[in-house]
Amino acid sequence: MSFVRHLVYSRWLFHHTKPLSVNTSILFSTTRSSMTIMPAWVIDKYGSNDVFRFTKNASFPVINYPNEVIVKVQAAGLNPLDVNMRGGYGAATMSMKRDPLNIKQSGSEFPLILGRDVSGVIMECGLDVKYFRERDEVWAAIPPWKQGSLAEFVVLSANEVSHKPKSLSHTEAAAMPYVATTAWSALVNTGGVSKDNCAKKRILILGGSGGVGTFAIQMLKAWGAHVTVTCSQNAERFVRGLGADHVVDYTAGPVEEPLSALEKFDLILDNIGGDTERWALNLLKPWCGAKYVTLVTPFLQNTDRLGIADGMMQTAATVATKALKHLVKGVHYRWGFFAPSGPALDEIRELVDAGKIRPVVEETFSFSQVPQAFEKMEKGHARGKTVVQISKGGDDL
Ligand SMILES: NC(=O)c1ccc[n+]([C@@H]2O[C@H](COP(=O)([O-])OP(=O)(O)OC[C@H]3O[C@@H](n4cnc5c(N)ncnc54)[C@H](OP(=O)(O)O)[C@@H]3O)[C@@H](O)[C@H]2O)c1
């Protein structure tokens, strides 16, 4: 049994061995009726930075399922996805996830709260939640179809939440869950690596100096892999400091030339996309299970452009064609996606508390500076994550 499976099993066992305090399956919403509003940054339509609106009257999250928890947000982490979602990216797929039967009117997602990472304290538990208690310190990556963490409170499924590493402050912890669970999903679930099989693997990370890359380098090094990274020259020292064994500067010319002079790889994680697909699969060891996993996929663009049905058909046809084309050459072509996972974060917490992975915080903003944080993210390359401190709620506004 893999360690994550073991963790899932432990959570299940915990869940099923503790007696239920209330013997009913109907009374699962225990949200205190006295709290109906909270401070939050919301958007009421998609657009550029001027769509942000601060309100003290956002709807307080409600526990709708017995396995949900309400978290009081201490710090929120921002990702490139938040900037893209503000502009409407992925709206068709997110609407489908929120309202699968398509009952609600278009625009029912507004007012929408962004923010994919949270570190905070459990304020309330649904009646089936046994693994967490009120006042537990937790961290989580929030699925993009749910209301985000740029608010005083957020509701999540207990399966998405994990106890926060004790060695990190809330601000540091909020820099990690989304990139960590994305890298985990791509490398472990899709790429097939684990702490038990990584030791002699040669792994290439295209775009190693951003949020996903900096996490991936540290986790793979903690598991004993040999890690090669591409990034700009001024990020070289930084990625070497995180453990990268070999660094190739993409600003010095086409990276495929220096990379093809190296011994071939067992796994490639592509955070860049576009042109990379033309040459990167030639860098894999053929006929020995080597995989190329890209995080840059056209899935959300296709559904935004063509609608859900046609977009999914187009996406399935594209990935199947590419996978087949490369399979005949003896290498595997895969798409990686973010997947929320409390059990993965449980395992990542062990690595963090053992000092093997550290958060990379680029800049910290106060809750009143959310629009400035987005502006800064849009402007340039980050060496880590942008974090917003929310512990004071809306008091500074
Ligand atoms: N499919 C999914 O579910 C999913 C989930 C999360 C993220 N993603 C995608 O994964 C990618 C990485 O996310 P992230 O959060 O790590 O983004 P990020 O923080 O913006 O990092 C990207 C990094 O790539 C570097 N870079 C830019 N052009 C490059 C090139 N040609 N070659 C090598 N490095 C280059 C930049 O650093 P330098 O200063 O070194 O240039 C930048 O720091 C994004 O495209 C994101 O949209 C997908």
Distance CA 122, CA 155 (A): 10
Atom of ligand 1 nearest to the CA of 335: 1
Task: Return the best residue to mutate from 212, 250, 268 for the ligand 1 pocket (most ligand atoms within 8 A of CB).
Answer: 212
Number of domains in the chain: 2
**What is the Å distance from ligand 1's center to 296 Cα?**
9
Q: Is residue 170 situated within a structural domain?
A: yes
Same domain, 183 and 161: no
Cβ–Cβ under 8 Å, residues 386 and 78: yes
- Find out whether the beta carbon of 295 lies less than 6 Å from any atom of ligand 1: yes
Q: Strands 226-231, 246-249: parallel, antiparallel or unpaired by DSSP?
A: parallel
Question: Which backbone phi and psi does 118 adopt, to 5 degrees?
Answer: -140, 140
Distance CA 138, CA 168 (A): 11
Tell the residue nearest (CA) to atom 25 of ligand 1: 207
Same domain, 322 and 220: yes
CATH of the domain at 291: 3.40.50.720
pLDDT of 295: 98
Same domain, 151 and 23: yes
Distance CA 184, CA 192 (A): 10
Distance CA 308, CA 300 (A): 9
- Find out whether the beta carbon of 315 lies less than 6 Å from any atom of ligand 1: no
pLDDT of 29: 45
Q: Is residue 57 situated within a structural domain?
A: yes
Q: Is residue 81 situated within a structural domain?
A: yes
Question: Which backbone phi and psi does 258 adopt, to 5 degrees?
Answer: -60, -35
- Find out whether the beta carbon of 179 lies less than 6 Å from any atom of ligand 1: yes
Element (H, E) at 357: none
Element (H, E) at 386: strand 385-389
**What is the Å distance from ligand 1's center to 272 Cα?**
6
| Number of other CB atoms surrounding residue 286 within 10 Å | 12
Distance CA 321, CA 335 (A): 13
Q: Is residue 68 situated within a structural domain?
A: yes
Tell the residue nearest (CA) to atom 42 of ligand 1: 210
- Find out whether the beta carbon of 207 lies less than 6 Å from any atom of ligand 1: yes
Q: Domain range for residue 289?
A: 179-335
Tell the residue nearest (CA) to atom 27 of ligand 1: 207
**What is the Å distance from ligand 1's center to 338 Cα?**
14
CATH of the domain at 166: 3.90.180.10
Same domain, 164 and 183: no
Distance CA 79, CA 344 (A): 19
Atom of ligand 1 nearest to the CA of 338: 3
Task: Name which of 172, 148, 190, 161 is nearest 344 in CA terms.
Answer: 161
**Is the pLDDT score of 381 beyond 80?**
no
**Is the pLDDT score of 395 beyond 90?**
no
Q: Which of 335, 352, 378 is the last residue of a domain?
A: 335
- Find out whether the beta carbon of 66 lies less than 6 Å from any atom of ligand 1: no
Task: Name which of 137, 133, 85, 143 is nearest 112 in CA terms.
Answer: 85
Q: Is residue 397 situated within a structural domain?
A: no
Atom of ligand 1 nearest to the CA of 178: 6
Q: How many residues does the chain have?
A: 397
Q: Is residue 340 situated within a structural domain?
A: no
Confidence grade of residue 20 (pLDDT, cut at 50, 70, 90): very low
Same domain, 208 and 125: no
pLDDT tens digit string along 222-263?
Answer: 999 999 999 999 999 999 999 999 999 999 999 999 999 999
Cβ–Cβ under 8 Å, residues 273 and 256: no
Q: Which of 320, 335, 350 is the last residue of a domain?
A: 335
- Find out whether the beta carbon of 211 lies less than 6 Å from any atom of ligand 1: yes
Residue 253, phi-psi category: left (phi > 0), alpha (psi -120 to 50), beta (remainder): left
Task: Return the best residue to mutate from 117, 295, 376 for the ligand 1 pocket (most ligand atoms within 8 A of CB).
Answer: 295
**Is the pLDDT score of 1 beyond 60?**
no
Q: What is the mean pLDDT of residues 157-169?
A: 98
pTM of the model: 0.91
pLDDT tens digit string along 324-346?
Answer: 999 989 999 999 999 999 999 99
**What is the Å distance from ligand 1's center to 207 Cα?**
6
Q: Is residue 52 situated within a structural domain?
A: yes
Atom of ligand 1 nearest to the CA of 255: 32
Task: Return the best residue to mutate from 297, 381, 383, 386 for the ligand 1 pocket (most ligand atoms within 8 A of CB).
Answer: 381
Confidence grade of residue 362 (pLDDT, cut at 50, 70, 90): confident
Same domain, 105 and 241: no
Question: Which backbone phi and psi does 12 adopt, to 5 degrees?
Answer: -65, -45
Distance CA 122, CA 71 (A): 4
Cβ–Cβ under 8 Å, residues 195 and 189: no
Tell the residue nearest (CA) to atom 20 of ligand 1: 210
Atom of ligand 1 nearest to the CA of 272: 45
Residue 389, phi-psi category: left (phi > 0), alpha (psi -120 to 50), beta (remainder): beta
Same domain, 23 and 132: yes
| Number of other CB atoms surrounding residue 87 within 10 Å | 15
Same domain, 66 and 185: no
Distance CA 224, CA 133 (A): 35
Same domain, 159 and 254: no
The strand pairing partners of 70, in sequence order, are 124, 155
Task: Return the best residue to mutate from 81, 84, 204, 231 for the ligand 1 pocket (most ligand atoms within 8 A of CB).
Answer: 231
The strand pairing partners of 39, in sequence order, are none
Same domain, 45 and 164: yes
Same domain, 123 and 183: no
CA 90 centroid distance within chain: 15
**What is the Å distance from ligand 1's center to 249 Cα?**
15
**The dihedral sign for the CA sequence 382, 384, 390, 392:** negative
pLDDT tens digit string along 306-325?
Answer: 988 889 899 999 999 999 99
Same domain, 137 and 47: yes
Distance CA 136, CA 133 (A): 6
Q: Is residue 395 situated within a structural domain?
A: no
